[in-house]
Structure 1
């Protein structure tokens, strides 16, 4: 059930970024109201299936806090500039400076790294810290390094697996932006 919720929530969030980033019109305020323009997300190294893909950089990322029924969930998501790859984090609990979230190994927190953000139903293209490979366990860490009002910064790394046991990774990750 946790995995289903995680995949659905991450997919819905990425869809909202996609649609908000592709609005038509001449309104100059669209960028100010665009949830996808309030954050950046990078990883110095990332790759899929044993291959190194290079640097992941998203200048149209989003950070969203949702609270309901006494639970707070923070999502941090980005689509690689000029590409289809995405990184989606779901963190349970509110952000605070110097707070560390453990990923995988039974925690509620997780990251999904996708080869194609538009194809969320193909689990072979989705690599999750909840999944495990033959000799390894998916996991990682997100650390909030700074909080100033609604502005947040942090670092992350993750190793995830798809439904076939193939690996994706993101190393030396950073994010910063305004929580919407």
Structure 2
């Protein structure tokens, strides 16, 4: 299951990174269908400040009998991104995430356009000596296609460096 989650995180980040220039211009003109914020986030022991994305996307897909709820956000004015994946249909509740949990995960990236670079991408699914990624996804409201929630995460990259997102929230319409 963990290998599936990592593959989903990389695939989601790769899809986000492969947008054509025309798609970017259209997205900038129309905005996204969700917003994502984090009151505090950072990388490698540093604090980057607040994360805000007004052009985030929220989807729910069922394939091979597995429903996956995903929120993907690129920071306004930057390349940092946060991707939230819940391995089930969006439903009100709290979901622990981490190497020991099969609920999903969060990926925090320094540069969404470089999805294959293990040094720039951090996952709650990674663990090792003296480190364990994890966090929580809390879906607080599901009304029709509108979903709202909160999250926090501690994630690690391939070099065992840490990224974090605190006081996170998301709100949007499923597409």
- CA–CA separation in structure 2 for the residues paired with 1:149 and 1:157: 25
Q: Give the 3 Å change call, closer, same or farther, for CA 94–79 of structure 1 in structure 2.
A: same
Q: TM-score, normalised by structure 1?
A: 0.87
Higher relative contact order (CA 8 A, sep 6+): 2
Task: Report the CA distance between 1:20 and its aligned residue.
Answer: 7.4
Unaligned runs of 5+ in 2: none
Equivalent residue in structure 2 for 1:14, among 13, 16, 26: 16
Match of 2:44 among 27, 40, 49: 49
Which among 157, 162, 178 is matched to residue 173 of structure 2? Answer: 178
Partner residue in 1 for 2:81? 86
2:91 matched to 1:101? Answer: no
CA–CA distance in 1 between the matches of 2:73 and 2:46?
A: 21
TM-score, normalization by structure 2: 0.89
How far apart, in 1, do the equivalents of 2:5 and 2:89 lie?
A: 20
Aligned length: 170
CA change 1:92–1:22 in 2 (3 A) is same
Gapped runs of 5+ residues in structure 1?
25-29
